[in-house]
Structure 1
């Protein structure tokens, strides 16, 4: 019997670099990798003939392309998977977090030893939480949970250190939108008071008039992502010191609305100069 986990892993890889579906050359690559994964011993170093690949592709599409649009969507693939694999496959697309503030709260919840990384046992707890939240009555075997954890690490642990740093976890658990990426923040002359108010309210979730703690970490995460793709908690802490040193005028370790305005206007001017 074909190992369902191979399907999950292969499709998540493709989903992470596409738009929630595979077609054309992506589909060919998926089928080729899938076949090699399942029949590696039988195939050895042999190349799959193109006519055989086309035949397999035709049979695959007839079986799974339910809406006959000549591509395989995530939901079509997920329907053939058991509940746990189905959920792990779909949560990445269907359940983005509302903001990076929420992301930082999840991060701090599961980085239990405060090491600055989500290690294997912490990732296992995170995946168990996701599965239990989706279906509380689900009884997940420990061996299966370890398998899922190992699979996620293989996919998202880009530097192969056996744990997830901030940027790697952010790819696993995406947010709906980095608000600071909006075009309005690339032109200082077009930023309005309403834009500043909207940005401030997105991060000041408790509405106490300051951006602090996880709110500040979430804001800095979004700001940092404008400059670099790969980062860890040490990078975030260093960035926090730089930002607070420059923009925290009253030195309270927080960011208020006026300080945020000055910061975003400066960021926008820098981006405008680069265009």
Structure 2
């Protein structure tokens, strides 16, 4: 089994890492939890033992943290810290520009240069190239193209060849990815348009901080199982990082709240 061989390796390539993740994220949720996580832990231990290898310190810490708990959850970022992943590829998951959801939103706004609401392959490639340069790493263009392709395959849920905001947010650790909270409250386009018009109280065509505050309070009240009213300030701070001079336009907010459709 290829995955078993990869778990035994001294270094996991970008392509191998993608295969490992795809294998264990069996429901395509974007994170490992429950049976998925426990299966990974069990098979990681078995693979290393079968090869006569000890767990690395990172693996041992991972097993100790999640091996005895059934309610753990990890994302791609966390798994990249556990496996001996190819150094340059690993840097994307240790990105100092993406320490929080707010940092992520600001980075997204910078690299979604045409404000299309997604990053195409060229925009993603520019993003990855800049991250490597900031880490003083130089790689061949062919390798950068390979990384871009792997990242698209890893994060592009709907296979449209580009990354939406929520797909790209998988570069954040699970606990920092507040966008996961909004997956359960997304609206169709028609419903979203109605909500935006309702909270754009002055008809300005954009929502300011006060109007966003009111909108989030309403969403929290209607979706208590997904959103926590005590976290409104955090939600607002992250979302406003998408704004233009404090003005949150309809297309910006749609990235978070709109599921598309009619």
Q: TM-score, normalised by structure 2?
A: 0.56
The match for 2:208 among 243, 246, 255 is 255
Residues 250 and 153 of structure 1: is their aligned pair in 2 closer, same or farther, counting only changes over 3 Å? same
2:236 corresponds to which residue?
Answer: none
Q: Quick check: 1:112–1:122 contact (8 Å CA) kept in 2?
A: yes
- Which residue of 2 is the match for residue 176 of structure 1? 176
> In 2, are the aligned partners of 1:118 and 1:165 still within 8 Å (CA)?
yes
Instruction: Find the aligned partners of 1:76 and 1:224 in 2 and give their Cα distance.
Output: 28
Matched with 2:31 is 17
Is 1:87 aligned to residue 45 of structure 2?
no
- Do the aligned partners of residues 27 and 90 (structure 1) sit closer, same or farther apart at CA in structure 2, a change above 3 Å counting? farther
Written as runs of structure 1 = structure 2, the 5 A alignment for 1:39-118 is 54=46, 56-60=47-51, 62-66=53-57, 68=60, 71=63, 74-78=80-84, 81-91=85-95, 96-100=98-102, 102-118=103-119
The question of whether the paired residues in 2 share the 8 Å contact of 1:11 and 1:30 is answered with: no
Q: CA deviation at 1:129?
A: 1.5
Q: Which runs of 5+ in 1 are unaligned?
A: 32-53, 179-220
1-structure distance, mates of 2:161, 2:143:
18
Contact 2:121/2:161, CA 8 A, preserved across alignment: yes
Aligned partners of 1:64 and 1:77 also within 8 Å: no
Question: How much does 1:173 deviate?
Answer: 4.5
Q: Distance in 1 between matches of 2:216 and 2:115?
A: 30
Compared with structure 1, are the counterparts of its residues 262 and 153 closer, same or farther at alpha carbon in structure 2 (3 Å cutoff)? closer
Corresponding position of 2:259: none
Q: Partners of 1:273 and 1:168 in 2: how far apart?
A: 22
CA-based RMSD of the aligned residues comes to 4.1
Q: How many residues align?
A: 193
Instruction: Tell me which residue corresponds to 1:214.
Output: none
More strand as a share of residues:
2
In structure 2, what is the Cα distance between the partners aligned to 1:169 and 1:30? Answer: 27
CA displacement at 1:26 relative to structure 2: 1.4
| Counterpart Cα distance in 1 of 2:194 and 2:107 | 24
- Pick closer, same or farther for the CA change 1:273–1:77 going to 2, 3 Å: closer
Once residues 268 and 222 of structure 1 are traced to their aligned partners in structure 2, the CA distance between those partners, rounded to angstroms, is: 14
Mark the structure with the bigger radius of gyration.
Answer: 1
Structure 2 residue ranges without an equivalent (≥5): 1-8, 65-78, 227-262
Offset from partner CA, 1:145-192 (integer Å, 9 cap, x none) = 1111111111111111111122212223468253xxxxxxxxxxxxxx
TM-score (norm 1): 0.54
Taking the aligned partners of 1:75 and 1:170, their CA distance within structure 2 comes to 17
Q: Secondary structure at the match of 1:250?
A: coil
Quick check: 1:64–1:76 contact (8 Å CA) kept in 2?
Answer: no
1:115-154 correspondence to structure 2 within 5 Å: 115-133=116-134, 135-136=135-136, 138-154=137-153
Q: Which has the higher contact order (CA 8 A, sep 6+)?
A: 2
